[in-house]
Structure 1
């Protein structure tokens, strides 16, 4: 019986020590939903159209899924998120084995200078370049394949930008 009680006490001690670092709620210490974010349109300095619209939709989706901040659509957010899309690049990753000139896979990459600032004080929370990327397999139509891959690339960038805002790495 004594051995069983010792085992039980050790198990409970390990259980409580193992969960000591865990906490519920947002990782930046703020209460969920206590502040709101206003996402302004990003300026697109690339030749690729509609990147800003894809990025804004992806940012809204990622911030809503996280739940730390409310999305404010009436220009009254506590934090204003804005930026400039500075580059959109397509690089070759692999070529067809039968033809070394024909590309089989591309990596598309987009860079945006993302800025978050507090509305009340004007303090810049962060102003950093964020990169989103994805792999694109070329089929018969490069344009259609790229059109399908752009939302995945902007979602990757939005996840990284949302993590910067939510996790408070600034």
Structure 2
């Protein structure tokens, strides 16, 4: 049995129709660079040590490392030295606040679970002109259970809150929101 010529033509025409529909469906769309319009020239960022306005020892190191890790994980920008960078990201760890999430059943003043909230203020400056390219505030929070050593519990929860704030900073630098 020989297949009719109509089936042969449809077999040849089907891939061409699929290709046509795919190309038409993408009309008007373009891939973006992953950067806001004002930051299209920025490819390398230098991140000096953040300022620490809290009483947390080595807080500036934790904040800086969190932001560098978030930039590296995102991949839109590269970390560079001050001399090689297109922009400089300066920041300050402004506040750390603690609030009670859950208390014991019999004593409401005795916490079982707490939440810390970290606030970072940052600004992205052009490396050559020192003009402000972008600025903002980011907050990150983390919950932790209170055990025998409350100071250790607070210290262990701080990097998680800083990482969440750093993710907000990078989100503003890459997606502008």
TM-score class normalised by the smaller sequence: 0.7 to 0.9
Is the partner of 1:55 in helix, strand or coil? helix
Unmatched runs of 5 consecutive residues or more in structure 1: none
Q: CA 1:14–1:140 in 2, change beyond 3 Å: closer, same or farther?
A: farther
Answer 1 or 2: which has greater strand percent.
1
2:163 alignment counterpart: 155
State the secondary structure of the residue aligned to 2:148: coil
Matches within 5 A, 1:9-158: 13=21, 17=25, 23=31, 26-28=34-36, 35-158=43-166
Return closer, same or farther for 1:97/1:40 CA change in 2, 3 Å cut-off. same
**In the alignment, is the contact (CA less than 8 A) between 2:44 and 2:87 conserved in 1?**
yes
Secondary structure class of the residue paired with 1:99: coil
Paired residue total:
167
> Please, what TM-score do these two structures have when normalized by structure 2?
0.77
Quick one: structure 1 residues 20 and 143, their matched pair in 2 at CA, closer, same or farther if it must change by over 3 Å?
Answer: farther
Deviates most, 136-145 or 35-44: 136-145
TM-score (norm 1): 0.80
Alpha-carbon shift at residue 13 of structure 1 (Å): 3.7
Structure 2: gaps of 5 or more residues = 1-6
CA distance in 1, matches of 2:67, 2:148: 31
What SS does the aligned partner of 1:68 have?
Answer: coil
Residues in 1 aligned to 2:111 and 2:155: alpha-carbon distance in whole angstroms? 17
- Computing the radius of gyration over CA atoms, which structure comes out larger, 1 or 2? 2
Question: Partners in 2 of 1:19 and 1:56 — Cα distance?
Answer: 42
Q: Counterpart in 1 of 2:4?
A: none
How far apart are residue 26 of structure 1 and its match?
Answer: 2.4
Secondary structure of 2:116's aligned partner = strand
Indicate how the Cα distance of structure 1 residues 11 and 157 shifts in structure 2: closer, same or farther if over 3 A, else same.
Answer: same
